[in-house]
Amino acid sequence: MDQRKSENFIILLVSLACIGLTAESILMKWEFWVPPLIIIGTIFLWVFNLSQKPEREIRKFYYLVYAMLAVFFHGVHDTSFFDVALVVSLVMVAFSFFNQAYMIHLFLAEYVVIMGIQFWLIPKSDYTSFDSLTISRVILHVCIVLLVYFCCVKAAYDHVEIEERDKENKALIESGKADMEDFLSNISHELRTPVNVVNGMSELLIKKKVGSEALAIKDAGIRLANQIEDIQDYTECKREKLILEEESYMSTSLINDVVTAFRVSEDAKNLELVVDLAPTVPTRMKGDIKKLHKIFRHLLENAIKFTKKGGICVKMYSERTDYGVNLVIEMIDTGIGMDRKALESVSEGMYQVNKKRNRSSGGIGLGLFIVYGFAHRMGGFVKIESEKHIGTTVRVTLPQKVMDDAPCLLLSSSFTGNILFHVRSDKYKVPRVRDFYRNMAANLAFGIHAPLYAAETLRDIERLMDKMPVTFIFMGQEEYEDNPKYFDRMAEGETVIAVSAAEGFKVTEGSRVIVMPKPLYGYPVLKILNEGRDAHNLEIRDNNHKVSFDDIRALIVDDEPMNIVVATSLFSDYNMIIDSAGSGKEAILKYKDNDYDVVFMDHMMPEMDGVEAMKHIKGIAQTEGRKTKVVALTANVVSGAREMFIDEGFDGFIAKPINLADFERVMMQVLPKIRKDEGGAKA
């Protein structure tokens, strides 16, 4: 029983006893001024209990004193001679719930005092006589009181001992958890350096076109890097040490992540992906973009992992709030689903549908726990709805600040005409996939305020075209392949035909039909609606031209030679002039003799770490009037590492293994005046 319940229980017993004592006092015509005091004291008991003031120990002492006074008042009357043992036994049992042995000692001492007074009153009493029966009853009562006393004292001591043991065990468990979490965090940090080498060297082999084996090595390296990050994220979620790193981002970049990840997933080859992006989502928001990327990755990986047939629908929309928007991400699949027991345990971490060693689902079971941890840290929440053999819907709601309120998908004001959506409903073996496509098309049309009509057959298309001008027809690959000549001929006219098809698909030679690579989502559709047949670069990533850092002089500082080889190779592709140093001291010497635009500094190095070396270089730059930028290039990527390095004086932060998108973004931030290829930089 916890302390609050114990206190309530004792207050209730004492109150009931005092009510009985008041009634007995009135009936027996004891001192008339005592019952009002008993009533007032009982009221104060409840006032203290309900207000929880003063502090608990003071309240407990008040309850003790009040109970002892009540027992004493009852016991000193000669009519209570044979009742004293019962009353004292009851209060000892009641107060034993406080687990304070001294209280039991005081009640026993009070019993001895009261019995002494009672023996002194016997010659004057009309209710008690000093005979053998009285003596035997007193002996029996004393034995009962002593038995109750010893039991209550033992119970109090045992409870205290159990509490101490529980505290020690809990401390040991927490210590073990902390040690394990520290171990996982440290080992994930240590593994980043060799993984960076594996990924970088495999990239070099791919560039040299040595064979498909290099692609397999790179894929394995990326998978391992993701799992190392998962371990780190899991430990930080468990220890509630997540630190948010907020920055401005494009909402469409999140969708691009999903599309790219789905295309490269071997497990998703037989699945359909439908991306339902609400056009009204703000173009640019502010939040922790890295954690958002990871939330999408974990949700998509889980959906693919447990979906063998059918497909997945990714929905992203926003709800207006006073502080900006609630960004809502839904991942809906047609997979195996979860039962109620699985749903209850899914947020506890380490959840796996199949925990056998021969399971085929893959992964280390941390994804959903990390999603929960990230969402809660961002001030959002996660809701999961699932049904066995039907599918699962995971809905993540996250508050985000709005930087650019313009809709992320906007239809040109010059648009005219009508849109047909030609998809055969009978081609999907899982009916929910058909619903995914229909809902996506309807939501997109509603969001951009465009007239959209469904046409399942050629007859439907012809009937609608007789009634209205049809300017655009969107369809799937199968629909086109059923009647390629018909649609090729139609595309020669004013109607724009667009086909969503798998990689490698080609239309009839000379055809004006536009091919949109799967999966189908709003961005390429809007591009075609706005630009017609002139639409090019139908994917978000295609609009971002390669950045060129021509003639930028860079110094790479790392105590691991292979890391220098990897970074040099990757950065050289940007037309940079690269130099290297194997330690902090060597970097300072080289900086004194050379002029660099940017220094990439490893953190953990022997003799002189990266922070100390950076401060030396910054000091030299300030003295000599140079404008060199120093960027941390490190495997130390615990939550909040970026802020820590920036606070120390670094101008930027890049994590290992090196992500080229992060590298480009950091370079654009620290050296904003660098020259770029025509067409702009990658955001």
Average pLDDT estimate for 482-496: 91
Same domain, 512 and 594: no
Residues 31 and 49 in one domain: yes
Which range, of 5-19, 297-311, 441-455, averages the lowest pLDDT? 5-19
Contact assessment for residue 654 and residue 666, using Cβ atoms and an 8 Å cutoff: yes
Q: Can you tell me the mean pLDDT for 508-528? A: 88
Q: Which of 360, 386, 407 is the last residue of a domain?
A: 407
Average pLDDT, the chain: 84
Is residue 372 assigned to a domain? Answer: yes
The tens digit of pLDDT for each residue in 172-226 reads 877 776 676 667 656 666 777 788 788 878 877 777 776 677 778 878 888 888 8
Averaged pLDDT for residues 574-596: 92
Angle, CA of 257, 258 and 261, to the nearest 5°: 80
3-state secondary structure of 77: coil
Which region among 96-110, 338-352, 578-592, 596-610 has the lowest average model confidence (pLDDT)?
338-352
Average pLDDT over residues 361-378: 78
In a domain, 213, yes or no: no
Is residue 671 over pLDDT 70?
yes
- In whole angstroms, what separates CA 365 from the centre of its chain? 14
List the one residue out of 491, 591, 599 whose CA is nearest residue 555.
Answer: 599
pLDDT score for 400: 95
Q: What is the pLDDT of residue 361?
A: 44
At residue 2, the pLDDT reads 65
Q: Mean pLDDT, to the nearest integer, of 607-616?
A: 92
In this structure, the answer to whether residues 533 and 600 fall within a common structural domain is no
Residue 683 lies in a domain: no
Residue 260 within any structural domain of the chain: yes
Which of the residue ranges 212-216, 544-548, 603-607, 640-644 would you say has the lowest mean pLDDT? 544-548
In a domain, 231, yes or no: no
Residue 390 sits in the same domain as residue 458: no
Q: Is residue 42 domain-resident? A: yes
Q: Is the pTM of this model over 0.85?
A: no
Residues 255 and 393 in one domain: yes
Domain count, the chain: 4
Over residues 141-172, the pLDDT tens digits come to 889 999 999 999 998 888 888 888 888 888 88
Domain boundary among 518, 543, 568: 543
pLDDT at 604: 82
Distance CA 219, CA 264 (A): 10
Q: Looking at residues 277-305, what average pLDDT do you find?
A: 92
Has residue 356 got a pLDDT over 70? Answer: no
Q: Identify whether 449 is part of a domain.
A: yes
Q: Place 546 in a pLDDT band, splitting at 50, 70 and 90.
A: low
Give the range among 89-103, 254-268, 379-393, 506-520 with minimum mean pLDDT.
254-268
403 and 264 inside one domain:
yes
103-145, pLDDT tens digit by residue? 899 989 999 998 888 888 776 666 666 677 878 888 898 899 9
Q: Are residues 559 and 539 part of one domain? A: no
Instruction: Answer with the one of 80, 110, 130 that is the final residue of a domain.
Output: 130
Residues 12 and 112 in one domain: yes
Of the candidates 259, 191, 254, 189, the one whose C-alpha atom is nearest the C-alpha of residue 221 is 191
What pLDDT shows up at residue 186?
A: 66
* Confidence at residue 206, expressed as pLDDT on a 0 to 100 scale: 77
The residue segments making up the domain with residue 389 are 247-407
pLDDT of residue 130: 67
Q: Is 87 found in the same domain as 36?
A: yes
Q: Is 320 in the same domain as 302?
A: yes
pLDDT of residue 679: 36
Domain identity same for 452 and 532: yes
Going by C-alpha positions, the residue among 531, 648, 525, 633 that lies closest to residue 581 is 633
Is 256:213 a contact under the CB 8 Å cutoff?
no
More reliable by pLDDT, 125 or 44: 44
Q: Domain containing 604 — which CATH number?
A: 3.40.50.2300
**For the chain, the helix, strand and coil percentages under 3-state DSSP, each to the nearest 5:** 55, 15, 30
Render pLDDT for 429-467 as a digit per residue (tens, 0 to 9): 888 998 998 899 999 999 999 999 999 889 999 999 999
Within-domain flag for 113? yes
Percent of the chain with pLDDT over 90: 31
Phi-psi region of 389 (alpha: psi -120 to 50; beta: other; left: phi over 0): left
pLDDT for residue 240: 80
| 532 and 560 together in one domain | no
**Cβ-based neighbours of 468, under 8 Å, separated by 6 or more:** 418
